[in-house]
Amino acid sequence: MARRLTGRQVKPRAAAWRPLSDNAGYADHEGRLFALRLLNDRHVPLPIVPSLPTKPMRTYRHSLKTLRDVALAHTLEKNPDLASLARELGGIIHRDMRALADGLSDLRNHNRGFERWLVGRRGRPGVSVLVMAWPPGYTTPSHDHSGLWGIELSLYGALEVESWSRASTAQPWQLRGRDWLGPGDATWFDADMPYMHRCRNLSRQETALTLHVYGGDLDDYTTYEQIEAEPFWQSQPQRARIAGPLRV
Ligand SMILES: [Fe+2]
């Protein structure tokens, strides 16, 4: 049976509007400005009429620079708080999603295969920040990250990430799970824990873009191929090629 609210009906009081100062306002993630006005002592947002000047959109370079600077600022310890950093970076990507998608359209459209672009790096403690371009349907082999910690976030498009871990190199790999990352979503892994994953661009039409932060330069890594017989995974050393620097 449907429940009914039986509380005393309260007739709303007449709205007591009064304007605040000119700078009392905020912008949402699409850059639309909203004013704050006082309604019965509670702040509520009201859309400003379109003829008023609006705050300019952030450029993708400004956004990428912010992402790089946040990544460098939060990684001054040997074992940084990856969950917090993922949340910070994800919030910026959510906010600037449209500027990033438009500004990085060259990377999305030039169809040169899977590419890594360097956004920034630091020597000690080691950190590298990269943008990667994933052609439609592109899938990586299962790969580790040379024992570095890492965070990977979608900037544009959607990525599937299948993860494995194992207690030691003598143990078999165990499938940990499968994640689907949209813009601003992240996956991360700690240093020194045996971990690998396989990533796939879920779109068959569009190039996906991702942001990667690693605890050092990921020059070398290992790929793993599943085989029928023991040890069930065959490993292969790899070099990570950088397409070039991405200017911010
Ligand atoms: Fe990876």
Distance 126 CA to ligand 1 centre (A): 17
For the segment 42-47, the average pLDDT, to the nearest whole number, is: 45
More confident residue, 93 or 42: 93
Tens-digit pLDDT profile for residues 75-87: 998 889 999 999 9
Distance 194 CA to ligand 1 centre (A): 13
Domain count, the chain: 2
pLDDT for position 57? 57
The DSSP bridge partners found for residue 160 are 180, 200
On whether residue 158 sits in a domain, the answer given is yes
pLDDT for position 9? 42
pLDDT for position 167? 86
Q: Does one domain contain both 78 and 37?
A: no
Distance 163 CA to ligand 1 centre (A): 10
pTM for the whole thing? 0.76
Q: Does one domain contain both 41 and 156?
A: no
Please check the confidence at residue 42 and state whether its pLDDT lies above 80: no
On whether residue 1 sits in a domain, the answer given is no
Q: Does one domain contain both 82 and 96?
A: yes
d(CA 89, CA 213): 10
CB-based contacts of 209, cutoff 8 Å, min separation 6: 100, 104, 107, 108, 131, 132, 133, 134, 154, 155, 156, 157
End-to-end CA distance of the chain: 60
Unique residue bearing structure tokens 């509670």: 42
On whether residue 218 sits in a domain, the answer given is yes
Distance 145 CA to ligand 1 centre (A): 7
On whether residue 141 sits in a domain, the answer given is yes
Helices (H), 74-190: 82-95, 97-103, 105-109
For the segment 55-61, the average pLDDT, to the nearest whole number, is: 73
Tens-digit pLDDT profile for residues 193-210: 899 999 999 999 999 999
pLDDT for position 94? 96
Distance 143 CA to ligand 1 centre (A): 7
Please check the confidence at residue 23 and state whether its pLDDT lies above 70: no
pLDDT for position 190? 93
Distance 231 CA to ligand 1 centre (A): 22
On whether residue 96 sits in a domain, the answer given is yes
Residue 213, both tokens:
């932060």
Q: Could you tell me whether strands 208-214 and 127-134 are parallel, antiparallel, or unpaired per DSSP bridges?
A: antiparallel
On whether residue 62 sits in a domain, the answer given is yes
Distance 221 CA to ligand 1 centre (A): 10
Question: CA of 125: how far to CAs of 38, 75, 93, in Å?
Answer: 48, 8, 25
